[in-house]
Amino acid sequence: MRLIGSNTSPYVRKARLVLLEKNLPHDYVVDPPSDPNSEVYRVNPLGRIPALILDDGECIFDSVVIAEYADTLNDSPILIPRNDALARMRVRRWEALADGIMDSAVVVRNEVSRPQVTQLAATLNLHSKAITHTLQHIAEVLGARDWCEGDSLSLADLALVSALAYLDLRQPERDWRGTHPNLAACFERMSARPCVKLSLADNK
């Protein structure tokens, strides 16, 4: 398998962490859509990353679909609960919250990249508030637990660490660690995992 992506995409990081944590052999190819010659335009009609190309040439796109597919390939570990509908829902809900943070952070990133006179204050305010409110909610739900759901690693934790890493990259002025010490502790625990450490090193 080949995973096409970029080191700055939080969605790519999430997909890559799933493949790494499940020890699924793959090649990671940095080939961002910003390059007009990127292979992603050939394999994904949306022209977006991540894109996972299987050995037979079939392409899976969107981090949610990639994570769902990859988790079925082996049982070590099971990142999305299979036999408990409520636990499965909660993991996917965590993923939705983390992806929502990523979505809003991307919007903010794109907006502040525009000339200041053309930036839309209402858009910046809306998405900045969405991030703030979601971080508050996540911190309250996580509490003092080590894991987002259950007593072991799940897709929820991989999605959350991907979202927080993207905030560090694109919004370094946001003091989410000072505001939410339990999220800071969670991030530090996750950052010590070899797979997460490997993905974070690519940002440097």
Query: pLDDT tens digits for 117-159?
Result: 999 999 999 999 999 999 999 999 999 999 999 999 999 999 9
User: Given pLDDT bands bounded at 50, 70 and 90, which one contains residue 188?
Assistant: very high
Question: Is the domain of 122 the same as that of 100?
Answer: yes
Counted domains in the chain? 2
- 118 domain-assigned: yes
Give the C-alpha separation, 72 to 82, whole Å: 9
pLDDT of residue 202: 73
Phi, psi at 68, each rounded to 5° = -60, -45
- Helix 85-112 vs helix 155-170: crossing angle, to nearest 10: 10
Q: Is residue 201 part of a domain?
A: no
pLDDT of 168 reads 97
Lowest mean pLDDT among 40-49, 122-131, 194-203: 194-203
Q: Is 29 helix (H, G, I), strand (E, B) or coil?
A: strand
pLDDT bracket for residue 55 (50, 70, 90): very high
| Mean pLDDT score, 48-74 | 97
| Same domain assignment for residues 105 and 163 | yes
Looking at the predicted structure, is the pLDDT value of residue 203 above 90? no
Is 131 in the same domain as 49?
Answer: no
Whether 56 shows a pLDDT value over 90: the answer reads yes
CA R_g for the chain: 17
φ/ψ (deg, to 5) at 35: -85, 115
* pLDDT for position 201: 87
Report pLDDT digits (tens) over 88-115.
999 999 999 999 999 999 999 999 999 9
Output the domain CATH number for residue 8.
Answer: 3.40.30.10
Q: Is residue 165 part of a domain?
A: yes
Residue 120 DSSP symbol: -
State residue 204's pLDDT score.
55
Residues 101 and 139 in one domain: yes
For residue 148, the model assigns a pLDDT of 98
Domain encompassing residue 41: 2-71
One-letter amino acid at 2 equals R
> CATH number of the domain that 116 lies in?
1.20.1050.10
Residue 79 domain-assigned (yes or no): no
